[in-house]
Amino acid sequence: DGGITQSPKYLFRKEGQNVTLSCEQNLNHDAMYWYRQDPGQGLRLIYYSQIVNDFQKGDIAEGYSVSREKKESFPLTVTSAQKNPTAFYLCASSISGQSEQFFGPGTRLTVL
Amino acid sequence: AQKITQTQPGMFVQEKEAVTLDCTYDTSDQSYGLFWYKQPSSGEMIFLIYQGSYDEQNATEGRYSLNFQKARKSANLVISASQLGDSAMYFCAMSDQGAQKLVFGQGTRLTINP
């Protein structure tokens, strides 16, 4: 089955630690995205990548970093510089040039 | 900059009734796309329906239709014959001219009562 997987589903982190969220897709999509969702809010774009080895900042990139070494993978690192990292993180992908995005199941990050 | 506004934080509807979820947008682009996504309590985002800015006909997908009024910059979602399983958060979104990014509204929580 084609789709997007995110792991882990739940993640707990101590303050001051970096943590990496995984996102993998087997849809052969060129474009991938990371969004953050806070309780009762819409999604805000963190980073996106249209092709391998290239990515752009979204609206709230501060405190986050990404890499795109493979077409299938777009991991997100939440660094200690992110002031309020507790949130729900969603990864998405799309065919380049087409804007319909397909989403993974999400990772819920809690900072203790 | 693009902006999506959803003015209904919550809606309560009786099962089998039709429901309209409001969405207005703001953009200076001539070419753009409008989307509706459903988010159940489990968290995943489920694509429902798409309308292109040059599409003359309103989009329909099963029980979902998009009431697109370009001059008023509105893209309301209509769900016919609502079901208990329709209870969820609903998000309106739009893509930019390059179809690279989506901008989301704040969402509407829909509750279907039996």
Query: Is the omega angle on the peptide bond into residue B40 within 30 degrees of 0, that is, cis?
Result: no
Contacts of A99 in chain B (CB under 8 A): 33, 35, 95, 99-100, 102
- CA dist A24 and A104 (Å) reads 9
Query: Which residues in chain A (31-90) have CB-CB distances under 8 A to chain B?
Result: 31, 33, 40-45, 48, 50, 58, 88, 90
Using the Cβ of A105 and the Cβ atoms of chain B, whether some distance falls under 8 Å is answered with yes
Q: pLDDT tens digits, chain B, 114 residues: what are they?
A: 889 999 999 999 999 999 999 999 999 988 899 999 999 999 999 999 999 999 989 999 999 999 999 999 999 999 999 999 999 999 999 997 766 789 999 999 999 999
Residue of A48, A105, A106 lying closest to B101 (CB–CB): A48
pLDDT number for residue B47: 94
Q: Is the pLDDT of residue A1 over 70?
A: no
